[in-house]
């Protein structure tokens, strides 16, 4: 392991990779500070920029967006009472109250130090767990990969913030769109409707740019996004001894809780921050102080959401399964560069695996050094009006989509999916399940058909292979356990109507 770590640092500290790490965490912090953009939309917009980069540089840059956004989200929550990131919602409760009491400095400081400690802990966790899991996964063949993709597709039910039924429907829409193009085994055109440009399938870039970039612009244009910046002098960014005493155990608990919850499918960072806040309030000797400026209510959740980011990388690097939508974007970026995430990543692309892990050490240190001195810069950034910001986002989307294939059809696709994404948001259909199933669809089909070729058309192969059977069983149980409560609720409504 030590030899691999040294090799990783040699890769990540190369001048170009060091620059990408710095650029990633800087832009990540910026998108965390600015509410309404988020890492998914930013990755979608800037993904075409990475086409001329190396796979290592691309992964380091995009990973920096992710964990950098977790850092930046706390700044907006504390100073403006608006979460820059969904995972920073809980930080608003006590962080903003601390700012109103003139303690914005310690709140921002403990958020930065807690994030650094938790981020470093999660990187160590990745190093320890990812390699053994990947070695175990080397036994996988097409049936096992098919079952893993089914398990990955079951994540659509965890990506659902509201209706599970709607999430499943959008997931099926994504699967259908992934079948457009030439059949990989027979070469027959499918669902192209006579459009020759569709023979290679629908482009991922126009779809994600439309669903997350263009639709975000449409959604935010119709909202009142004026922000009241807290006019107070930010001082004492370094927490005092009492602040550290009150925050030490919340940081430790938040780091552990966030890391292990981050490994689980779904919105790990969001769930982790809420769970950490609830745990700290329950364990506190003075729970009545929470919501009134308790520093533990900032330290715990901020540590948890940053640790969850590291945990989410484990299923991607070891099994090739994206645990949430941001990781799915990283997954697709590697596929575009011809790199298959999963158990063979460590042996075939060790420079990517260890280079990215060690870059997180460097990135966390950069974030700590960047965040505290640049607080006043982020305050000025928060004052940028959205009427200036959104046209720039739209321009980047157009340039990015067109530069992939220099195709006007890609621009039409992006606009079409932008309108679709906007309508989905208005009707409370979430775009994340559609995108996830679109990414995993080709892998699902390929491994299923390879498995059936091996078994001469018999589906028994999925039952007699233990790993495949277990994964499919877990997938079935996940779907059943999620669909049963809504069915029970509807049956109860019908019974109530019959009684009345």
Dump pLDDT digits (tens) for 93-123: 888 888 888 888 888 888 888 888 988 898 8
Least confident of 56-60, 76-80, 84-88, 479-483: 84-88
Q: What is the pLDDT of residue 16?
A: 93
Whether 64 contacts 370, CB under 8 Å: no
434: phi > 0 → left, psi -120 to 50 → alpha, else beta; which?
Answer: alpha
pLDDT at 20 over 90: yes
Higher pLDDT, 15 or 149: 15
The pair phi, psi for residue 493, each rounded to 5°, is -65, -40
- Classify 297 as helix, strand or coil: helix
Backbone angles phi, psi at 54, to 5 degrees: -75, 155
Q: Are 443 and 328 in contact (CB under 8 A)?
A: no
Most confident of 270-279, 358-367, 370-379: 358-367
b/e burial code for range 253-273 (CB count within 10 A of at least 16 → b): bbbbbbbbbbbbbbbbbbbbb
**Residues 350 and 359: beta-carbon distance below 8 Å:** no
pLDDT > 70? residue 275: yes
Do β-strands 181-182 and 189-190 pair in parallel, antiparallel, or remain unpaired? antiparallel
User: How many Å apart are CA 336 and CA 359, to the nearest integer?
Assistant: 21
Question: What distance in Å separates the CA atoms of residue 154 and residue 473, rounded to the nearest whole number?
Answer: 12
Q: Out of 236-245, 375-384, 400-409, which region has the weakest mean confidence (pLDDT)?
A: 375-384
pLDDT band at 126 (very low <50, low <70, confident <90, very high): confident
- Rounded to an integer, what distance in angstroms lies between the CA atom of residue 201 and that of residue 192? 8
- How many Å apart are CA 482 and CA 467, to the nearest integer? 23
Q: How many helices (H) and strands (E) does the chain have?
A: 22, 2
- Cβ–Cβ under 8 Å, residues 138 and 418: no
pLDDT (0 to 100) of residue 396: 73
What does the pLDDT read at residue 431?
80
pLDDT score at 137? 64
Rounded Cα gap, residues 325 and 160, in angstroms: 11
Higher pLDDT: 363 or 238? It is 363
The pLDDT, as a whole number, for residue 500 is 63
Q: Which of 91, 23, 2, 7 is nearest to 353 (CA)?
A: 7
**Could you tell me the maximum CA-CA distance found in the chain, to the nearest angstrom?**
73
Q: What is the predicted pLDDT for the residue at 21? A: 92
Structural contact between residues 324 and 334, judged by C-beta atoms closer than 8 angstroms: no
Cα 495 to Cα 500: distance, rounded to the nearest angstrom? 9
The confidence band for 34, taking pLDDT boundaries of 50, 70 and 90, is confident
> What is the structure's pLDDT at 252?
92
For the segment 61-67, the average pLDDT, to the nearest whole number, is 88
User: For the chain, what percent of residues have pLDDT higher than 70?
Assistant: 87
Note whether 265 and 155 are within 8 A (CB).
yes
Global pTM value: 0.71
How many angstroms separate the Cα of 37 from the Cα of each of 71, 212, 235, 323, 380?
15, 9, 28, 21, 17
Strand partners, 189: 182
Contact 346, 134 (CB under 8 A): yes
> Mean pLDDT score of the chain, rounded to an integer?
81
């Amino acid at each position: 392991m030590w030899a691999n770590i040294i090799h990783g640092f040699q890769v990540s500290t190369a001048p170009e990779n060091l620059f990408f790490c710095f650029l990633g965490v800087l832009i990540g912090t910026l998108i965390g500070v600015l509410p309404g953009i988020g890492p998914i939309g930013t990755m979608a917009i800037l993904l075409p920029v990475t086409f001329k980069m190396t796979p290592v540089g691309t992964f380091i840059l995009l990973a920096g967006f992710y964990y950098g956004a977790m850092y930046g989200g706390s700044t907006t929550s504390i100073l403006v009472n608006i979460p820059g990131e969904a995972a920073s919602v809980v930080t608003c409760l006590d962080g903003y109250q601390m700012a109103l009491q003139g303690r914005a400095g310690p709140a921002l400081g403990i958020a930065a130090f807690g994030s650094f400690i938790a981020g470093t802990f999660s990187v160590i966790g990745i190093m320890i767990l990812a390699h053994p899991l990947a070695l175990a996964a080397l036994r996988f063949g097409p049936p096992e990969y098919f079952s893993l993709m089914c398990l990955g597709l079951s994540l659509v039910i965890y990506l659902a913030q509201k209706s599970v039924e709607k999430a499943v429907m959008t997931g099926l829409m994504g699967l259908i769109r992934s079948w457009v193009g030439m059949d990989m085994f027979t070469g027959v055109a499918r669902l192209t409707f006579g459009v020759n440009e569709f023979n290679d399938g629908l482009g991922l870039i126009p779809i994600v740019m439309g669903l997350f970039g263009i639709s975000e612009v449409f959604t935010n244009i119709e909202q009142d996004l004026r922000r009241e910046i807290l006019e107070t002098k930010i001082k004492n960014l370094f927490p005092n001894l009492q602040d550290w005493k009150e925050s030490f155990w919340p940081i430790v608990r938040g780091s552990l809780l966030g890391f292990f919850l981050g490994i689980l499918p779904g919105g790990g960072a969001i769930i982790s921050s809420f769970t950490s806040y609830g745990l700290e309030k329950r364990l506190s000797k003075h729970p009545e102080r929470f919501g009134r400026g308790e520093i533990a209510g900032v330290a715990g959740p901020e540590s948890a959401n940053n640790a969850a980011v590291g945990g989410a990388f484990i299923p991607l690097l070891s099994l090739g399964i994206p645990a949430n939508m941001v990781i799915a974007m990283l997954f697709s970026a590697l596929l575009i560069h011809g790199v298959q995430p999963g158990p063979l990543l460590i042996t075939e692309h060790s420079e990517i695996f260890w280079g990215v892990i060690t870059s997180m050490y460097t990135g966390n240190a950069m974030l700590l050094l960047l965040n505290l001195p640049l607080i006043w810069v982020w305050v000025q950034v928060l004052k940028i009006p959205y009427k200036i910001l959104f046209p720039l986002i739209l321009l980047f989307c157009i340039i990015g989509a067109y530069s992939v294939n220099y195709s006007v059809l890609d621009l039409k696709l992006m606009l079409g999916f932008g309108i679709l994404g906007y309508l989905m948001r208005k009707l409370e259909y979430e775009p994340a399940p559609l995108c996830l199933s679109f990414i995993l669809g080709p892998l699902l089909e390929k491994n299923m058909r390879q498995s059936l070729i091996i078994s001469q058309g018999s589906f028994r192969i999925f039952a007699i292979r233990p790993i495949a059977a277990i994964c499919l069983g877990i997938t079935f149980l996940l779907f059943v356990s999620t669909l049963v409560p809504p069915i029970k609720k509807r049956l109860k409504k019908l019974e109530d109507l019959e009684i009345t």
